[in-house]
Chains A and B, each alone.
Chain A
Amino acid sequence: MLIKNWGSILEAKSKFARPVLYLPRRNPTVWIGRAKAEMENATVDLKPHGQDLSGRVHQLPCCVKHDGPASVSHYFKPKHNGVADEGLPLQEAHFRGRLLQGTTLQLPHGYSGFVLAKKTSPPSSKQNSNSWDTKATFQDITYWNHDYVPSHNDELFRAFHWLTVAKALHNPVTPEELASSSFAL
């Protein structure tokens, strides 16, 4: 599944290393998948053992026109701030003067998030390479809303409904199931 949503992926490295913000040029793109995937004219190499960025991937309700590192952990200071009506644990942070309310979403079991970077092709090769490499992986995303409290109705939560639909679409159907469903019709 490819989630395209508007927002940015912020990432900070470990406490002791220089904190880093990655905003991919083709942001915001999060690839969530389970295997090596091939698309038309593109190869995406999903390696499960990149640097684990769990807890440090943030999706903002804005586009930051910046591509490169930034001192995220020194400036972006989420604070835990109670629990929403639906039982979601809430966080609060400020970015560019705006109040953001967020929550952390665990990726479903069996899925991983990948931070991808385009493989650089040697300058000699004229062919435009469209190969992607795994730079890091993550198991959760903290997403942020401007001006409203996160809920299960938010797009990112709902995007995961697709996994259930996809499973239903792709699971083989047994003759018994077929019989019972045609009976129901």
Chain B
Amino acid sequence: MTSKILPQWASKPCAMGIDEAGRGPVLGPMVYGCLYCAQSYMKTLATLSFADSKTLKEEKREELFETLKTNDSIGWAVDVIDPRELSAKMLKKNKINLNEISHDSAMGLIDRVLKMGVLLSEVYIDTVGDPGKYEMKLSKSFPSIKFVVAKKADSLYPVVSGASIVAKVTRDRALREWVLDETAENMQRNFGSGYPGDPQTKAWLENHKHHVFGFPTLVRFSWGTCNSYFKDIAEVFWESDNLDEDGGGRNNNNGKRQLKLSNVGFTTSKIRSEEIESSGKGRSRFFQARKLEHLTNF
């Protein structure tokens, strides 16, 4: 989703603001948005009453988004990160944390806008993690751009305020129009804001937890919030988590110590033989490598 064909002003030095929406919520996509314009337009931009999107009412944000879309002096783009992607990346064997995902998304937007041919000279961005380190990372990837990485950039720089409106409106619409993967009959759409503290979100989570599947894929399984809902559902032990155990007993996403294969009732009733079986000790390498086992007792 990007705006129009390349306008003439884009070949003059431009400034861009980047902001995110939906970083905190336990469900739905996280959206990165950017807004850019010629540096010569910055003063006018400041008069367009873009404030930090969080301080605006939803209708006002929608209205401002529609206005900026029709403004020929402004360009914008968004990156919508699916909750399935967030969960999957954060629950990989080599976990990718949310800061990294955020950095990648922001850098992806910069890259996309540069490739369109926009002459970006300055980028304003709300910090994720330490501002100094983030700025270094950005400058290294894009040496020709001057970066301003700041806390609360969305309320300090109108170009970032604009980006925050683009991101927030996109996130709200995406959630409103979300097509649930699950086809079970009792699926409802009253997600609320998605913030873990929102009573409507809490009620939705409570009503949509599933004994085997956990939650619909709209939910970010990697969020700590999920654990409080998962207390009484079926436990799941992952092969990939178990391999980690040798590395010093790291926690799984349930916050509990990993159990050994033999502790979770896999094979025969005899504990001793279970341990031997699951480790494959005493078996020929041919069978070990194939996870095959000779059973004398069924």
Contact = CB atoms under 8 A, between A and B. Distances in A.
A146 B213 contact: no
Contacts of B104: none
Interface in B190-215: 210-214
B238 interface: yes
A21 B236 CA distance: 15
Contacts of B297: 39-42
B184 interface: yes
Nearest to B217: A94
A165 B290 CA distance: 13
Contacts of A64: 212, 234-236
Interface stretch (B14-22, B58-66, B87-95): B87-95
Contact of B295 (A4, A75, A130): A4
Nearest to B242: A6
Contacts, number: 127
Contacts of B219: 97
Contact of B184 (A66, A74, A146): A74
Given A61-B240, A65-B235, A98 B88 contact: yes
A103 to B, nearest CB: 17
Contact of A77 (B93, B181, B235): B181
A120 interface: no
Given A6-B239, A64-B234, A75-B213, A158 B295 contact: no
Nearest to A157: B290
Contact of A70 (B87, B212, B222, B292): B212
Given A6-B291, A146-B238, A159-B290, A74 B183 contact: yes
Interface in B144-194: 181-184
B298 A96 contact: no
Nearest to B86: A97
A132 to B, nearest CB: 7
Contacts of B212: 21, 64, 66, 70, 75
Interface in A71-120: 71, 73-77, 94-99
Interface stretch (B2-10, B34-42, B122-130, B260-268): B260-268
Contacts of A165: 286
A73 B183 CA distance: 8
A132 B220 contact: no
B221 interface: yes
Contacts of B221: 96-98
A71 B214 CA distance: 12
Interface in B212-251: 212-214, 216-217, 219-222, 234-240
B interface residue count range (under 10 / 10 to 19 / 20 to 34 / 35 or more) = 35 or more
A6 B222 contact: no
B234 A65 contact: yes
Contact of B213 (A96, A147, A158): A96
A156 B290 CA distance: 7
Contacts of B214: 96-97
Task: Determine which residue in B216, B240, B298 has the highest number of CB atoms from chain A within 10 A of its CB, and name it.
Answer: B298
A96 B229 CA distance: 13
A155 interface: yes
A184 interface: no
22 contacts: A2-B293, A61-B238, A61-B240, A62-B237, A62-B239, A63-B237, A64-B236, A65-B235, A71-B184, A73-B183, A77-B181, A77-B182, A94-B87, A96-B214, A96-B221, A97-B84, A97-B88, A97-B90, A97-B219, A98-B87, A98-B92, A98-B221
What are the 6 closest A-B residue pairs judged by CB atoms, nearest first?
A97-B221, A97-B87, A99-B88, A66-B234, A75-B213, A74-B184
Interface of B: 84, 87-88, 90-93, 181-184, 210-214, 216-217, 219-222, 234-240, 253, 261, 264-267, 277, 286-287, 289-298
Given A4-B291, A162-B290, 10 more contacts: A4-B293, A6-B266, A63-B266, A64-B212, A66-B211, A66-B212, A70-B211, A77-B182, A97-B214, A155-B291
